[in-house]
Amino acid sequence: MVLSIRVPMSSDRILRLENIVKRFGTFTALHGINLDIYEGEFLTIVGPSGSGKSTLIRLLVGMDEVSEGRIWLRDKRIDQTPANKRPTCMVFQSLALFPHMSVGQNIEFPMKIQGQSETKRRTRALALLELLRLPDSFYFKRINQCSGGEKQRVALARALAFDPEILFFDEPLSALDYRLRKTLEKELKDLHTRTGKTFVYITHSLEEAMVMSDRIAIMNAGRFEQIAVAEEIYVRPVSRFVAEFMGEVNLFDVESMASGELHGSGVEIHINGHVEELGVSLPQGERGVLMVRPEFVRFLPAGEIADFMVRGILRAEYALGSRMQYEVETVDGARLTLENLREDRYRGPIGDSVMLGWDVEHTHMISEA
């Protein structure tokens, strides 16, 4: 998995959400959302269907009204400002291009509404085509003659024609095939760097978020579970939900014991029916989850030891390009997942008895008070 570690281009806050609540009748879609967005950053809001991410972005662009709370653009409150009066623009999943217009006319449309001259509009449209790496000849091309990727670029050019301070994206790549989607992910990241605009991106795809973002905000049931850079969320998730949402993971329930019941840290884990003591911290009397990612679990040859050792039966093997993934069933019926490089693949058959191991330095404790 690719981890993109970047920092916001500015420490200046451009958008602030204060205790945002959105209700639809008796249903509450957003529960007291607080969020700071920084000038020039690429923030991705990611979560499963129904988590509230699309509802949130509709509030940010002014398509819906907040039930409670305030939205600030720098030092100006905008939650009561109509969408057409906000210095923001949205790129929709459907793109919403005008099929009866040419590419140039589509790009020029927002400038035409603003009353700009024909000469100024065309100069700006051609400059945006160049920015989006489309030839000048596309100016006269019909929208229905464009490929899916070309339409995406035209929609981006039209959005930039507004010269917005913040550009919002609502799952614009979700309908594209995998190869084109990967190409456009890189182009969006490059476009963000070249324009210096603030991008706020909504997606259900963790992979998109990891590739493009400065920060990722994980949503669940109308709340943010964690907001951080990709590396932080992947390595140190704050909850079981985030750990599982960020890809394949092995989780073990743990609990702290009263002082004196164990010799060391007072934290125990049950694996294969045995109680093991951990050298990791957990407040006394609390329960938690011990996490280890599949890439840190390994097959142990005879004579090799690790901090944690589990015997089981190899049940499945999957090819993941340059990597191999394995499922092992332990004696108590639990399933563990591990991954290694293809050249290091396990050579035994399915059904083999295997010993797995991993070290405490590659684990992460999640408290569940």
Q: Domains of the chain (ranges plus CATH)? A: 13-237 (3.40.50.300), 248-368 (2.40.50.140)
- Give the tokens for residue 290: 């011990």
C-alpha count within 13 angstroms, C-beta hemisphere, residue 292: 22
- The answer to whether 257 and 267 have CB atoms below 8 angstroms apart is yes
pLDDT of residue 139: 93
Helix 148-161 crosses helix 118-131 at what angle (to 10 degrees)? 130
pLDDT, tens digit (0-9, with 9 covering 90-100), for 236-266? 999 999 999 988 899 988 776 544 444 444 4
d(C-alpha 338, C-alpha 317), whole Å: 10
Q: In what order do the strands lie in the sheet with 335-341?
A: 298-299, 353-358, 308-320, 323-330, 335-341
- The answer to whether 332 and 273 have CB atoms below 8 angstroms apart is yes
Backbone angles phi, psi at 243, to 5 degrees: -60, -45
Antiparallel, parallel or unpaired: β 215-220 and 42-46 = parallel
pLDDT of residue 92: 82
Residues present in the chain in total = 369
pLDDT, tens digit (0-9, with 9 covering 90-100), for 165-182? 999 998 888 878 888 888
- The answer to whether 323 and 260 have CB atoms below 8 angstroms apart is no
Query: Which neighbouring-strand residues pair with 142?
Result: 102
Q: What is the pLDDT along the chain (369 residues), one digit of tens a residue?
A: 333 334 444 579 999 999 999 999 999 999 999 999 999 999 999 999 899 999 999 999 999 999 999 999 998 999 999 988 899 988 887 778 888 889 999 999 989 988 899 999 999 999 999 998 899 999 999 998 888 888 888 988 999 998 899 999 988 888 788 888 888 889 899 999 999 999 999 998 888 899 899 999 999 999 999 999 999 999 999 999 999 998 889 998 877 654 444 444 445 565 545 555 555 555 566 678 889 999 999 999 998 998 888 899 999 999 998 999 999 998 888 899 999 999 989 999 999 999 999 998 899 988 876
- Give the tokens for residue 188: 């969006």
The single-letter DSSP state of residue 171 is S
d(C-alpha 141, C-alpha 103), whole Å: 6
- Give the tokens for residue 75: 């030092």
Backbone angles phi, psi at 83, to 5 degrees: -55, -40
pLDDT of residue 276: 56
- Give the tokens for residue 273: 């029916």
d(C-alpha 230, C-alpha 212), whole Å: 10
Q: Positive or negative, the Cα torsion across 129, 14, 41, 48?
A: negative
Cβ-based burial of 301 (10 A; exposed 0-12, middle 13-18, buried ≥19): exposed
Of 248, 249, 291, give the one whose Cα is nearest residue 269. 291
The single-letter DSSP state of residue 127 is H
- Give the tokens for residue 349: 């058959």
Q: Positive or negative, the Cα torsion across 147, 148, 149, 153?
A: positive
Give CA separation, 29 vs 65, 126, 333, in Å.
13, 42, 38
Question: 173: helix, coil or strand?
Answer: coil
Antiparallel, parallel or unpaired: β 166-170 and 198-203 = parallel
